[in-house]
Amino acid sequence: MKTRLNGFAIAGVLLATGALAPGLASADVRVCTFPGSPSTALDEAVTREAFRTAGIALSLAPGGFDSGDDDGVSLKELNAALTRKCDVIAGFPRSTVADGSGSKLTFSRGYLRSGYVSITTRDSSTPSGENDVVAATYASPAQLIAVQQPNVRLDLENTAELTVDAVASGHAQRAIVWYPAVVAYTIKHRERHFRIVNAASPYADWQLVFAFGKNGAALQPRIDAALEKMAADGRLAALSRHWILPEAAQASSSSAPAFAYRDGPGRGSAMRRMTLTSGRASQPGRFIKVDASTTTDAPGFDRTQVAHGKTLYSSSCAKCHGPDLQGLNAPALRGPAFAPAANAKLTIGGVYGYMANNMPADRPGKMKPQEYADIMAFLLYSNGYSAGSTKLTDDNAKASTTPLNARMPQ
């Protein structure tokens, strides 16, 4: 579940003439699924029915990606697949915090609302407490959700199937996991049953869609019409009935505004203790709010920091937050959702404290304090703050109570 990307304005002309993009008029449309995706069976079934309904010939290309390791599909792999082997990707995950906006893909309407859930075994009687072990899948939204939870030790697994199995085997008391992975696991292990509730996080709510590359962009309206027809006559519900989130999980969904960054390192024995499988430890802090009495003076930074911070961001942050800070399977770090023009809900110090204690998600706290400060300088610059002659330090960034409002370009 790691990707995002790419949108074209030629569809209107193509639809008006009834033509398909070059290369599709005389050949089947090539549809790929994500490698190792637990929802592949559903994605292929919906694909066949939607394309049949739309009157489009297709060929399924489940091996369309050259690779797909446990860390997901990179932007490079995605673009290579869409260039050489696929016209359409089925089972593409989208969410309000990772929607691929401004990219070169065109997306269909959703055909399955799904997401990340918290699971325990049905016979679990262990009360929640500071000794809870929570399993999550490495470098995925599951980890981003789990890393914010209080009173847990975090067990990172390489695949979603292993994450579910950590609970089934008793290695973990609970797991945050992609719901289709639970479905796929119980199909293979029919004796296993789990209690399922929604994971309360804006990262948790997702839709599966079709993603169209350049060659397939003209097909999007026809597939949308097919999906709408399938939804109206019950065929879509029949295909997806085993994959739909349980009512209890849907009822416990929380809205994105409930999310807040955590402010600095935790204090006191009541704070959670999180231990990663690598043996590194990190403590988050308190939820923050912008106080009406806070200063409007942002801490200074220089251009050298911005350049270094951009390099660090590209190597450690871009895979989740996007190469242009637009958000992939983690929130955007530029724009009104992150730094609005006015009435910010986050402070610079709050965002910095959260980042320095919890990021990157694969190895929280792995960087040096000055490296985190340089990344913060890059984030500020990318949101309209001007570079000066003063160097931003770890201490200055932590101490800032300035609301994170975007600045107009100078």
Domain ranges (residues) in the chain: 11-112+206-245, 286-399
Examine the pLDDT at 70 and tell me if it is beyond 80. Answer: no
Architecture field, domain 11-112+206-245: 3-Layer(aba) Sandwich (3.40)
DSSP 257: G
- Is 209 in contact with 107 (CB distance < 8 Å)? yes
Examine the pLDDT at 2 and tell me if it is beyond 50. Answer: no
- What dihedral do alpha carbons 306, 307, 312, 317 form, nearest 10°? 60
Would you place residue 365 in the very low, low, confident or very high pLDDT band (cuts 50, 70, 90)? confident
Q: 151: exposed, middle or buried (C-beta count within 10 Å: 0-12, 13-18, 19+)?
A: middle
pTM listed for this prediction: 0.63
Examine the pLDDT at 394 and tell me if it is beyond 80. Answer: yes
Tens-digit pLDDT profile for residues 111-125: 999 999 999 997 765
Query: What fold, for 286-399?
Result: Cytochrome Bc1 Complex; Chain D, domain 2 (1.10.760)
- Cα dihedral 7, 10, 12, 17 sign: negative
The mean per-residue pLDDT over the stretch 206-233 comes to 93
Nearest CA to 139 out of 66, 39, 69, 72 is that of 72
Tokens 């939204």, located at residue: 141
User: How many residues are given for the chain?
Assistant: 410
Examine the pLDDT at 261 and tell me if it is beyond 60. Answer: no
Residues 6+ apart with CB under 8 A from 283: 265, 266, 271, 272, 273, 274, 357
Give the pLDDT of residue 69.
43
Judge whether 11-112+206-245 and 286-399 match in fold. no
The mean per-residue pLDDT over the stretch 138-146 comes to 77
Give the pLDDT of residue 6.
28
Distances (CA, A) of 258 to 200, 253, 285, 287, 332: 9, 11, 16, 11, 16
Tens-digit pLDDT profile for residues 282-321: 333 332 344 444 456 789 999 999 999 999 999 989 888 8
Strand (E) positions, 274-406? 274-275, 281-282, 286-287
- The helix (H) or strand (E) run that includes residue 120 is strand 112-121
Compute the half-sphere exposure of residue 70: CA atoms within 13 Å on the CB side of its CA.
Answer: 13
Examine the pLDDT at 227 and tell me if it is beyond 90. Answer: yes
* Highest mean pLDDT of the ranges 228-237, 310-319, 363-372: 228-237
Query: Which residues does residue 116 pair with via DSSP β-bridges, in sequence order?
Result: 178
Tokens 């055909």, located at residue: 111
DSSP 238: H
Asked which of 83-92, 134-143, 181-190, 383-392 is least confident by mean pLDDT, the reply is 134-143
- Is 75 in contact with 181 (CB distance < 8 Å)? no
DSSP 300: P
Per the prediction, the chain carries an average pLDDT of 76
